[in-house]
Amino acid sequence: MIADNKINYELGHFEHHMKVYDAYKLAIETGIKNDPRPKEEVNIVLKNAKEEYDKLPKNKKEYFDKEKLWNPYSDSRLSWGEELAKETEAERFIWGIDIGTGEIMLADRLKEKGQKISAVVAHHPTGMSRTPFPEVMWMQTDMFHDVGIPINITEGLIKTRMDEVSRNVMGSNYNQPVDAARLLDILMFNIHSPADNMVQLYLEDLIEKAEPKYLEDIIDLLMTEPEFKLASKYNDPPKIMVGNKKSRCGKVIAKMTGGTSGPKEMYEKLAQAGVGTVVGMHFPENHLEEAKKQNINMIISGHMASDSLGINRICDVWEKKGIEVIGCGGFMRFSRN
């Protein structure tokens, strides 16, 4: 059922005992618990950050992003106001896939009209998480290794692509919506990889249990979930991009997390590792061409629907703590509680 934006935002049957900062931390911890990598790999990310911090001379420590010491996702950050976030009750969030100045104004307008908004949540990286976000692409090395590609090859290919993405985001106006939020005194944070981890795991389990034979079986499977049903009503259904309805799936993998699209060269290695079908949120044109060359089937599940599914899994965790979330900016809220 879609949560109604106008009613039931008191959620009186739950107790409010969480602060905004705790809710933010809980989202990150939920992402860690559902990370596709082995637990020790996640711990190594944190350990390396601590070593890096400890080695810094005193005058450079103030410029170190201390959140790295407990949060392994460079693409998810509290944008501003940590102290305020620790004092503010987390009652009702407004979450959008992309948050710009417009959505911040929208939150302010809703508050003016008497609606409770404890914080604005973005999905895609913004503010402090915008320029370093390509660092999370490193988790793809383990994801692709997991399906049978040697780790030395995944590391070599991912490193090149990570550097390219890093150069692409260097010029971005990262703080634009954050400045608006600060001026209007609206708390803001973003949750990217933790939510993507949730959809990664959810769809992997779904596909594994269903054992689809043909590509149309995967489409039918996705269409059992409310996010894909609603996206289809908005003319954005899951689509077969390489292969056809009666193409046999072979070994199916989902690629939903890890920051952004990996390197196109990975498809040759996936074919050698015996992968038959890749299901992803979205793919660049050169990935489709490469998949065709390697005879790997490709299904686009849909960006907004897939992101919404992962976000909803985080919102469900929050809902149990008495926090309500309303959707905006492309996010469709469905509760599975």
Domains of the chain: 20-194+305-328 (3.40.1390.30), 200-302 (3.40.1390.30)
Tens digits of residue pLDDT in 130-187 = 999 999 999 999 999 999 999 999 999 999 999 999 999 999 999 999 999 999 999 9
Tens digits of residue pLDDT in 27-42 = 999 999 999 999 999 9
CB 14 within 8 A of CB 90: no
Tens digits of residue pLDDT in 226-235 = 999 999 999 9
Contacts 24+ apart (CB under 8 A), 285-291: 287/261, 288/241, 288/242, 289/264, 290/264, 290/265, 291/241, 291/242, 291/267
By mean pLDDT, which of 12-16, 32-36, 235-239 is the weakest? Answer: 12-16
User: Which strands make up the sheet holding 275-280, listed edge to edge?
Assistant: 239-242, 297-300, 275-280, 251-255
pLDDT classification of 262: cutoffs 50, 70, 90 = very high
Name 238's Cβ contacts closer than 8 Å, sequence gap at least 6.
Answer: 218, 219, 222, 223, 228, 232, 299, 300, 301, 302, 305
Query: In percent, how much of the chain has pLDDT > 90?
Result: 95
Q: Which of 112, 99, 114 is nearest to 184 (CA)?
A: 112
Query: In percent, how much of the chain has pLDDT > 70?
Result: 95
Q: Which of 328, 320, 337, 331 is nearest to 15 (CA)?
A: 320
Structure tokens at 89: 């009750």
Tens digits of residue pLDDT in 59-101 = 999 999 999 999 999 999 999 999 999 999 999 999 999 999 9
DSSP E strand boundaries for the chain: 78-80, 92-96, 119-122, 188-190, 239-242, 251-255, 275-280, 297-300, 324-328
Q: Which amino acid is at 140?
A: Q
Backbone angles phi, psi at 300, to 5 degrees: -95, 120
Estimate to the nearest angstrom the gap between the alpha carbon of 142 and the chain centroid: 17
What distance in Å separates the CA atoms of residue 28 and residue 20, rounded to the nearest whole number? 13
Maximum C-alpha span of the chain: 63
What distance in Å separates the CA atoms of residue 45 and residue 53, rounded to the nearest whole number? 13
Q: What pLDDT score was predicted for residue 172?
A: 95
Q: What share of the chain is helix, strand, coil (3-state, %, to 5)?
A: 50, 15, 35
Q: Is the pLDDT of residue 1 over 70?
A: no
CA angle centred on 106, ends 103 and 109, rounded to 5°: 160
Q: What pLDDT score was predicted for residue 11?
A: 41
pLDDT classification of 17: cutoffs 50, 70, 90 = confident
The average confidence (pLDDT) of the chain is: 95
Structure tokens at 200: 């990664």
Estimate to the nearest angstrom the gap between the alpha carbon of 294 and the chain centroid: 28
- Give me the mean pLDDT over the 49-62 stretch: 97
